[in-house]
Structure 1
């Protein structure tokens, strides 16, 4: 059985660091497994195989984003119920989010599976690459309900403050994938399809780990009731749908950046591709921040601990500043090694060095945006997160990179992105802090009004 709301007690900084570190480790494991996947397939000596997985990954990013969005709803709803001390409501919300996720992901698979060849063709896959990508994706998409269950299970465990077991689901999935990849690709001679089968099995291993943690350790699944499910669909969708839209903004920003970068030639495109691979590994602790702060805020909001909610925000900023300061210094020191290991040309090397020297610290301001997204997703205004992230991806990207690239060339694209991160990070953080203050003042007014009514009843 779940214990008391442990995130409402103890050091908020300790909670932020622990939840972020475990989340970052799981994310980095996923990114590293993707790199290993590509490495094994490149050993086949068939460029179409690598290209096929590249095309398929674009579609898989979309399906995984949907799973992450529903897991955000699970974390927000369960953590608030736990903070209120209503364990039965938390169990009900947990089983209903899982039911919602299974139904939703199954519907996506049913709609997506027959259209896979047409979708891949529309994004540029042709010939043998199209055939390989279709076979790969048709196997992998079948595992979307498993990914959904695994992500929701991890979200429920984070809502309880059990970030360690939430990390295990991702970690075990990554390890299973890495072990099975060479067996299915080389030993069984299945090539790209072997990589897909290995990934599919890995996703079911995530389900097993999540199920063990949620059901056997925490005993967090209540009995399914259809009327309760229909009652909970609205709050689940209210958080999930904006979170899905929020997740879609990142590929939009990347597409805008890549389109502008292409006009500066292959060296610039290669540099941006290298930076894109470095960012998730170096700044994984920042990307995990939103998922870490969310359950801490949720439990304390449920418990009415606004003092701790303000403290959580401050602790998150301290963590992000320290993390960025350390990792940006390391990145600055390692820039020559990065240029060497990726065999960067002179033009690419200049952009990589510019990013490592001048632009990388802008991720601190991006972390402020992630904190704001956590606030709005978990405290009842998820559409604010969507507006902020789409704002950064559009007016915080396109006009700025266009302007600065006129004066700075390709470096202006990186600098424009950084300026956009500063603007929207500060804007998001300011509005998020004000929103918490508004909630606190509203609760105080409600308490005064309630006491006044009781006094009148006594009289």
Structure 2
């Protein structure tokens, strides 16, 4: 059980680096599940199998995004309670978010499973690709409750500042998947279905690891009480619903990209699918920024430390720039290796090389958007995150990729998406900085008002 809000002390840059690095390893391993699936399936020399995982992963990204949204709720509520020193409230919120997430994920599975083939065909899967992607997704979607529980557990531990144990759940899941994939795909000759079963087992392993950290190490799950759960539904939904809408915008953008890519054939779809699996692994440190910055802001806001909130934002930008610069250089150097590793066709290889050479640095601007999303989700304005991310997914995606694809072909899809990231990243960061300044000014006015109306100020010291 935490005795103090550890993120309100020490170097903010050190916290950002540590929280982002451990979060990145966790996220990278979670998305590595899909990348490993695609890598082994590419060895079957059946491009429909790779395209099938690409289509199915578009839907799985949607379910993972919902899980991340609920984990954001856990992080925001628990970290703020910890910053205020209300440990029992933090424990109550932790168990109630876990119950909420489990019920919600079961409902999503119930709604999605019968409609999988229709959804996949709607975003462009046809023929053999549709058949394989349906088989893959029908198995994998069953694991959504496990992902939800694992992500919420990680979110609770991040809220406490224990980023290392938060990483373990997804790290172990990725390792288990890497071991089981060749067994099910090749040794048991199960192909796409084998990849799905291996990934499903890996996802359920996340539950055991996160349960151990939250319950046995930190003792952070309070006793479930139905009336407390009902009371907490409103504060949970205030964060969870906008956060879900915010995170749904990314799979929406991916679906738009995949639908446009399908008009250029399976080679373009396979290239976009490969890039889509590379991105979270290479740029995991960027994707982890929201999860790193969020609990730092939550604890320091609860403690009234606005100086550390400003410092956290500055540290996050410095970290993001250095990380993106380094990883973009590495990606540029590895582009030929990636083409060879995934047995990409000539058409697919051109798109992959274009991404590695010209598009990759746009993720720095996307990191600015992630920082802004963390600010709004954890400081009481989650609807702003929704508007920003949906703006990027719609206005920042569809018109731009449609326009640039007219002149640049399939490469224009990636270029248009990158331009959208630049625009909305800068806009979101500007809004977030101003919002924190507004909160600080409001807190200063309230403090000044209390000082003016205090008995001491009015000359009543002798009464006390």
Contact 2:49/2:132 (8 A) holds in 1? yes
Residue 22 (structure 2) aligns with: 22
2:382 matched to 1:382?
A: yes
Residue 238 (structure 2) aligns with: 238
> Counterpart of 1:395 in 2: which secondary structure?
coil
Aligned residue runs from structure 1 range 250-269, under 5 A = 250-261=250-261
Aligned residue runs from structure 1 range 281-430, under 5 A = 281-341=281-341, 351-405=351-405, 411-430=411-430
Cα 1:33/1:203, change in 2 over 3 Å = closer
CA shift for structure 1 position 47: 6.7
Residue 78 (structure 2) aligns with: 78
2:102 matched to 1:102?
A: yes
Greater displacement, 372-381 / 268-277: 268-277
Contact 2:369/2:426 (8 A) holds in 1? yes
> Counterpart of 1:328 in 2: which secondary structure?
helix
Contact 1:4/1:85 (8 A) holds in 2? yes
CA shift for structure 1 position 354: 4.1
Task: Kindly provide the CA deviation profile for residues 391-433 of structure 1, in whole angstroms up to 9, marking residues without a partner as x.
Answer: 1122222333344455656554443333222221111001001
Cα 1:344/1:47, change in 2 over 3 Å = closer
> Counterpart of 1:224 in 2: which secondary structure?
coil
Residue 434 (structure 1) aligns with: 434
CA shift for structure 1 position 270: 5.6
Residues in 2 aligned to 1:200 and 1:260: alpha-carbon distance in whole angstroms: 29
Residue 34 (structure 1) aligns with: 34
Residue 92 (structure 2) aligns with: 92
CA shift for structure 1 position 241: 1.2
Greater displacement, 24-33 / 262-271: 262-271
Greater displacement, 326-335 / 149-158: 326-335
CA shift for structure 1 position 207: 0.9
Greater displacement, 292-301 / 394-403: 394-403
Residues in 2 aligned to 1:236 and 1:65: alpha-carbon distance in whole angstroms: 17
Residues in 1 aligned to 2:56 and 2:267: alpha-carbon distance in whole angstroms: 25
CA shift for structure 1 position 110: 3.0
Contact 2:51/2:266 (8 A) holds in 1? no
CA shift for structure 1 position 235: 1.2
CA shift for structure 1 position 106: 2.0
Contact 2:51/2:269 (8 A) holds in 1? no
> Counterpart of 2:390 in 1: which secondary structure?
helix
Residues in 1 aligned to 2:72 and 2:336: alpha-carbon distance in whole angstroms: 39
CA shift for structure 1 position 326: 1.4
Greater displacement, 448-457 / 163-172: 448-457
Residue 173 (structure 2) aligns with: 173
Residues in 2 aligned to 1:86 and 1:43: alpha-carbon distance in whole angstroms: 53
Residue 202 (structure 2) aligns with: 202
2:43 matched to 1:4?
A: no
2:249 matched to 1:249?
A: yes
Greater displacement, 25-34 / 270-279: 270-279
2:220 matched to 1:220?
A: yes
Contact 1:2/1:219 (8 A) holds in 2? no
Task: Please give the TM-score of this superposition, normalised by the length of structure 1.
Answer: 0.90
Residues in 1 aligned to 2:92 and 2:115: alpha-carbon distance in whole angstroms: 35
Cα 1:318/1:93, change in 2 over 3 Å = same
Residues in 1 aligned to 2:111 and 2:2: alpha-carbon distance in whole angstroms: 38
Residues in 2 aligned to 1:346 and 1:183: alpha-carbon distance in whole angstroms: 30
> Counterpart of 2:224 in 1: which secondary structure?
coil
Contact 1:261/1:413 (8 A) holds in 2? yes
Residues in 2 aligned to 1:92 and 1:157: alpha-carbon distance in whole angstroms: 14
Q: Over the residues paired in the alignment, what is the CA RMSD in angstroms?
A: 2.9
Cα 1:68/1:49, change in 2 over 3 Å = same
Unpaired runs of 5+ in structure 1? none
Greater displacement, 187-196 / 14-23: 187-196
> Counterpart of 1:374 in 2: which secondary structure?
helix
Task: Kindly provide the CA deviation profile for residues 85-131 of structure 1, in whole angstroms up to 9, marking residues without a partner as x.
Answer: 11111101101101111121122233334444554555566777666
Cα 1:172/1:273, change in 2 over 3 Å = closer
Residues in 1 aligned to 2:415 and 2:191: alpha-carbon distance in whole angstroms: 41
Residues in 1 aligned to 2:352 and 2:136: alpha-carbon distance in whole angstroms: 33
Residues in 2 aligned to 1:125 and 1:350: alpha-carbon distance in whole angstroms: 22
> Counterpart of 2:304 in 1: which secondary structure?
coil
Contact 2:78/2:159 (8 A) holds in 1? yes
> Counterpart of 1:334 in 2: which secondary structure?
helix
Residues in 1 aligned to 2:418 and 2:49: alpha-carbon distance in whole angstroms: 35
Unpaired runs of 5+ in structure 2? none
> Counterpart of 2:10 in 1: which secondary structure?
coil
Residues in 2 aligned to 1:360 and 1:48: alpha-carbon distance in whole angstroms: 26
CA shift for structure 1 position 218: 0.5
Residue 143 (structure 1) aligns with: 143
